Structure 1
Amino acid sequence: MLDPIVTFFVRIFQWIGRGIGLLIGVILWPFMWAGRWYTQRGWILKAVVGLALLVLVGLYANFFYATQWWSNFNPSYPDTYSFEKRNVSAGEQVAAGAGTDTTKTCGDSGIAQIAADLIDFNVNQNAWVSSMVLYKLGLFGINWDDTPWMDNKASFQRGINQAVRRTATELADNLGRVRTTSQIDTNLQDARGQLQYDESIWYISRNGMTATTPSMYRRAMGNLRSFNARLATCQTTFDARADNLKQYIDRIASDIGSTSAILKERAENHNNGWFDFRADDRYWFAYGQLYAYYGLMKGAQADFEGVIKEKHLQNLWDTMDAQFVSALRIQPFIIANGREDGWLLPTHLTTMGFYVLRVRSNMVEISNVLTQ
């Protein structure tokens, strides 16, 4: 009686086996054809093709390493700075009334320092993935962002870069000048423009040879460090006023608010569990933003030390820091975009969106206190 059932399942597994074999054959056929073609060529052509293949294998090995190994990734990196020992706001003369024009010193900017260090992390300590030639070519013409592989680090780096871009704009337009009536600092102006450079430029563009994205960002890093060096010798300005801090906080709240809306849209309209191949891009972009803003807020806490004391903001600031820490602890191996009311698959996008909104809520509270 069981023979028909056994036969049925045997046939099903045979069909599955034949289907898998056919699929493997289709995948391997171009390589088998290329192998036969290669063995029939002369030694000069073999040498040229072999060298090209070795270069291609080397490029892919480097690409795999660059996308999978995250050098010096440390969500607790702001703790390595000793801003709490400074006790001086950015631009404030260390010893009021002391020193000559050539010897006096002022507090440098924690915001500028961390922004420069984040650029260094993105383009020197790690390869900038978005402009690598193999990332631009994609997987057989398919954008890597549309696949579940090789794109998490690129999205994370772009999230950091978004935060640094916003910060460079605020430094140039408001923080690095007196009440927007003084001249814009040249270093900050150059850094702002350089960080607006397209994130995916390789050596060759439509217009021919050009500067790569990493080289342009390195120039911005140099300009931020030059501004900070000049600030430390009181040769330029940092306007550490409450209204400037409020505006910077408001701009960041708006920035991560937009990211929260993107996470919400993806979670609600594309909840395909582990098969939503764009969910990881959204998640790691948001993670990169929070990673950068956590450090930049530590820098702002040091730069506006006097304002924070005057407005009694320390408790609110500590709460905001705690929300950053909680969000950055969430590092899933695979990002799943499950239904919010689902019982099987997690919904990492909604979880990250929750923490983004918690950070934003704390920022709004700080902004409200600064208004008073």
Structure 2
Amino acid sequence: MLDPIVAFFQRIFSAIGRGIGLLVAWICLPFLKIGQWFTGRSWIIKGPLGIVFALLIGLYGYFLWQATVWTNFNPDYVNTYNFAARKNDAGQPVKVAAGATATATATAPANTCERSAIVDVAADLIDYNVNQNAWISSMILYKAGLFGMDWDNTPWLDNKASFQRGVNEAVRRTTVELVDSLVRMRGTSGINPQLQSVRSKMQYEETNWYFGLSPFGPLTPTPSQYRAAIIDLRSFNDELAKCTVTFDARADNFVEFMDRIASSIGSTSAMLRERSENYNGGFFDTRADDRFWFAYGQLYGYYGVLSAAGADFDGVINQRGLAPIWNESIKQLRASLNIQPWIISNAREDGLFATHLATMGFYILRVRSNLVEMRDILAR
């Protein structure tokens, strides 16, 4: 009775095995043909080609390592800043000098102001993307793709690149707001040239290598521009510590800052919803992973930026009674970073399998809802 059933499954597995074998043969065929051609050549040809192949092997080994190993990834990176120990809003004269007794009358040396935690975090996030890790999106082998197919259209080697672009999106939005409002006294002072330079550098194309086809010619690679932005950010904060530039930690600036961030993550929520609703491929949706890791990277960046904003605008938060909802928002941001699945699934929400895009979208909407609520409280 069971023989036909067993035979049926044997045929199924045999067919799957043949299919896998044909796929492997198809992938290996070009390399076998090249190997056969190579063994029949003279050393005059073998030598230079061998050097080229060795170089390619080295480049691919480096690329595979950088695309899969996330150096210094730490969802709890905010804890290293110890923002709770801050006693002043950004740009305000430092009240407690190093080594002095923490009393209301203790004062720091003249012309000493508080650095901006937002600026420090933004600089460190850029450093994490381009110095502690290689910037994947502008690597030549990432741009070349898999046999000409964009890596973003495959299930492989695009997660870290998407995560980095998400972090970068958070930094880009932050640098725009620094220039437009946060460092301008009631919007009437001139634009700070260092931060204006940072904003321009962070808007630079994310995929530029040393050479481009459109326009044709040499280019400044993306990581070089971002590294220059780090220097400008840290230089601005050094000037702020000397009280030679300003950071205007007012309630209306805080409102505008939260409003722009809420809009930013709202756009990401819409992107996740569109993919989740229209492409229910489960584990076979090859674009779900880059959508997920972009959103994850954006929240990873905003977790640091908003935690820093809580230190820079501590006076506003406490004076307006926002501390409970503010702390809850930061906790929700951190909770969203606990979602780290090995394989991203974009299944139907009422299906049997996980739907990671909808889960991430849920966390994003919770954070956005709190930001909007705090904005409305401050705007009253």
TM-score w.r.t. the length of structure 2 is: 0.92
Among candidates 172, 179, 184, match of residue 172 of structure 1? 179
Residue 25 of structure 1: CA displacement?
3.2
Q: Hey, what's the Cα distance between the residues in 2 that align with 1:370 and 1:22? A: 64
1:367 equivalent in structure 2: 375
Residue 31 of structure 1: CA displacement?
1.8
Q: Which runs of 5+ in 1 are unaligned?
A: none
The 3 A distance-change label for structure 1 pair 45 and 370 is: same
Among candidates 134, 145, 150, match of residue 143 of structure 1? 150
Alignment check: 8 A CA contact 1:98 1:104 kept:
no
The 3 A distance-change label for structure 1 pair 190 and 76 is: same
Letter of the 1:38 partner, please give it: F
Among candidates 328, 339, 346, match of residue 354 of structure 2? 346
Residue 29 of structure 1: CA displacement?
2.4
Q: Deviations over 1:207-241 (max 9, x none)?
A: 31111100000111111101100000000010110
1:131 equivalent in structure 2: 138
Give the total of aligned pairs: 369
Q: Hey, what's the Cα distance between the residues in 2 that align with 1:359 and 1:151? A: 26
Letter of the 1:270 partner, please give it: Y
TM-score w.r.t. the length of structure 1 is: 0.94
Alignment check: 8 A CA contact 1:279 1:335 kept:
yes
The question of 1:38 aligning with 2:18 is answered no
1:233 equivalent in structure 2: 242
Letter of the 2:300 partner, please give it: Y
SS in 2 for 1:179: helix
1:104 equivalent in structure 2: 111
Residue 99 of structure 1: CA displacement?
8.1
1:192-211 aligned within 5 A: 192-206=199-213, 207-211=216-220
Letter of the 1:227 partner, please give it: F
1:330 equivalent in structure 2: 339
Residue 106 of structure 1: CA displacement?
0.5
The 3 A distance-change label for structure 1 pair 23 and 297 is: closer
> Mean alpha-carbon deviation: is it higher for 22-31 or for 109-118?
22-31
Alignment check: 8 A CA contact 2:94 2:108 kept:
no
1:1-372 aligned within 5 A: 18-95=18-95, 103-206=110-213, 207-343=216-352, 345-372=353-380
The percentage of aligned residue pairs carrying the same residue is 57
The 3 A distance-change label for structure 1 pair 128 and 13 is: closer
The 3 A distance-change label for structure 1 pair 13 and 329 is: closer
Residue 192 of structure 1: CA displacement?
0.4
SS in 1 for 2:247: coil
Residue 310 of structure 1: CA displacement?
1.0
The 3 A distance-change label for structure 1 pair 47 and 366 is: same
The 3 A distance-change label for structure 1 pair 229 and 15 is: closer
Residue 337 of structure 1: CA displacement?
0.3
The 3 A distance-change label for structure 1 pair 39 and 247 is: same
Letter of the 1:73 partner, please give it: F
RMSD between superposed Cα atoms in Å: 2.1
Alignment check: 8 A CA contact 1:89 1:240 kept:
yes
Q: Hey, what's the Cα distance between the residues in 2 that align with 1:136 and 1:298? A: 34
Q: Hey, what's the Cα distance between the residues in 2 that align with 1:156 and 1:13? A: 37
Residue 27 of structure 1: CA displacement?
2.9
2:101 equivalent in structure 1: none
Q: Hey, what's the Cα distance between the residues in 1 that align with 2:7 and 2:312? A: 76
SS in 2 for 1:124: helix
Residue 370 of structure 1: CA displacement?
1.1
SS in 2 for 1:205: strand
Residue 287 of structure 1: CA displacement?
0.5
SS in 2 for 1:71: coil
Residue 146 of structure 1: CA displacement?
0.4
Q: Hey, what's the Cα distance between the residues in 1 that align with 2:4 and 2:259? A: 71
Q: Deviations over 1:162-189 (max 9, x none)?
A: 0100000100111111122111111100
Residue 129 of structure 1: CA displacement?
0.3
Letter of the 2:278 partner, please give it: N
Q: Hey, what's the Cα distance between the residues in 2 that align with 1:7 and 1:104? A: 85
Q: Deviations over 1:279-301 (max 9, x none)?
A: 01111111111101111111111
> Mean alpha-carbon deviation: is it higher for 203-212 or for 248-257?
203-212
